[in-house]
Amino acid sequence: MKTVRTALPLLCLVTFACLGAESGSVPLRGKLSMQAGQSPTIVRNGESIKLEGDEPTLKVLNDERLGGADLEVMGRFISKDRFAVDHTHTKPVFTYRDGKRLQVTYWCDVCYIRTYSPGKCWCCQKNVDLDPIEPEA
Ligand SMILES: [Zn+2]
């Protein structure tokens, strides 16, 4: 029976990894603050927490249209004042408007294409519009 007992935890680990390895994510909510040449930060209770993430996520967090927004990111603390945001494919960035939690997305109204990172539409090259939506159930 020894093999079964050792194999089970391993199986769990593999399953979590397949789900995106983001199972230990926690939300961090605060005011998004950005300064040129520096990592974006979330200011919560007077404390600045530096945000790290993959390139598409950092593009969102450096989007000046979101400056000062009531933002929530999913991820984990690396240290007391550093927070690693989950990978962009897990759609980890939210904003609050009128008390509603909305997913930060971008929309090309020419091609009707939704993306999760700002910049040019891959189809028509138009700059996509910031378009927070209610998350899918
Ligand atoms: Zn387009």
Residue-wise pLDDT tens digits, 34-63? 988 899 999 999 999 999 999 999 999 999
Query: What is the 55 CA–ligand 1 centroid distance (Å)?
Result: 21
Assessment of whether the complete model's pTM goes beyond 0.75:
yes
- Spacing, Cα 59 to ligand 1 middle (Å): 18
The Å distance, Cα 34 to ligand 1 centre, comes to: 27
Mean pLDDT throughout 103-130?
Answer: 97
User: What is the bridge-based pairing of β-strands 100-103 and 93-97?
Assistant: antiparallel
Mean pLDDT for the stretch of residues 101-120: 97
* Distant-in-sequence, close-in-space partners of 18: CB < 8 Å, separation ≥ 6: none
Sign of the Cα torsion 137, 92, 80, 42 reads: negative
Half-sphere exposure of 68 (CA within 13 A, CB side): 1
Compute the distance from residue 107 Cα to the ligand 1 centre, in Å.
8
**120 C-alpha to center of ligand 1: Å?**
8
